Amino acid sequence: MKLSLLVLSSLLAARETLAGQLSLQQARFSVLGGDVSPLRQEPISLSPANEPDPVRLGPSDTLKLAFTVVTKEQDSDAEPKGVQPHQTFVRFFDKQSGEEGIVPVRVAQSGKAKFELSMARPPSSLPPTPLQGNETAPLTVSLLMGSFDHSPYSLQLFDLYLPPSQPAPEHPDEKTFHPQPEIQHTFRPEQKLPSKFVSGLAALVVVGGPWVVLLGLLSQVPLSTPHLLSPSILPFTVSLTALEALLFYYWADLKLGQVLAYGAAVGLVTVISGKTALEKRGEWRLQGKK
């Protein structure tokens, strides 16, 4: 097993050696002002010892990079040819905080690539401008490339000074994510019930009023009720009075279920006593009694 892994790693190393390494040609950068006038133009050296002086950008300046990605076969005098890496990025790194921003770069099949950084519309992945005291500190800018057929390639380009970072614009819905003032609900005051005296007086008027009117009208009609208190008539009269009292008590205190139960019992008594009273009244008429 170890022998097979060793052979496999040797084959991969040989493949990378035969495929060559990535490199750059015609690499240069330029800084343009807000009016698109060139402020600085310099080639980019592939040697770390020849790194250019730090680059400074104003609030409206634009940084442009242009280069060609090539591969050169090792131990070969053939001319380098342009290639298209699978991934190419420009990395902005803050050495103080360790924060970084990665911006992808589009490379053509011929290997030519262009990158543009406009401070008027900086990318969201750009890290905030580092500060040293009251002055801005630089970001380290480097180029990263990766390919399935070549070894990874990285090149530190230069140090970049950016304008001080501005606070991000507030989103229209941001305030909804902050603590909101407490909602004070205003409830309608509880309904006040009238006093028992007023309720009783109203009940007396409602219940007793019809009786007063009825008795007043009956007083004007010559009626003779000699058998009102007779044993056959009195139970019917009492049951009618009980039904009337039950309705009054229902309005004052009872619930519907209780009224139905009590009303069924009193109603049964009323029906039986009423039938008895009618039969007795019929007998009296047959006997010629008034």
What is the CATH classification number for the domain harbouring 53? 2.60.40
Considering the domain architecture, whether residues 34 and 137 belong to the same structural domain is answered as: yes
The average pLDDT across 86-109 equals 91
pLDDT of residue 11: 39
pLDDT of residue 289: 54
Radius of gyration of the chain (CA): 53
Q: Please state which of the ranges 3-12, 44-53, 148-157 shows the lowest mean pLDDT.
A: 3-12
Considering the domain architecture, whether residues 63 and 105 belong to the same structural domain is answered as: yes
Residue span of the structural domain in which 109 resides? 21-164
Mean pLDDT, rounded, of the chain: 82
Q: Residue with structure tokens 């010629």?
A: 288
pLDDT at 133 over 50: yes
Considering the domain architecture, whether residues 147 and 215 belong to the same structural domain is answered as: no
Nearest Cα residue to 163 out of 89, 91, 55, 65: 55
- Let me know: does 70 contact 82? Beta carbons within 8 Å: yes
Q: If pLDDT is split at 50, 70 and 90, which confidence band does 106 have?
A: very high
| Phi, psi (degrees; rounded to nearest 5) at 109 | -65, -25
Considering the domain architecture, whether residues 158 and 67 belong to the same structural domain is answered as: yes
Q: Is residue 274 part of a domain?
A: yes
Is the pTM higher than 0.85? no
pLDDT tens digits, residue range 138-172?
Answer: 899 999 998 888 888 888 999 999 888 777 677 88
Residues, the chain, total?
290
288 sits in the region (left: phi over 0; alpha: psi -120 to 50; else beta) called left
Q: Provide the number of structural domains found in the chain.
A: 2
Considering the domain architecture, whether residues 160 and 207 belong to the same structural domain is answered as: no
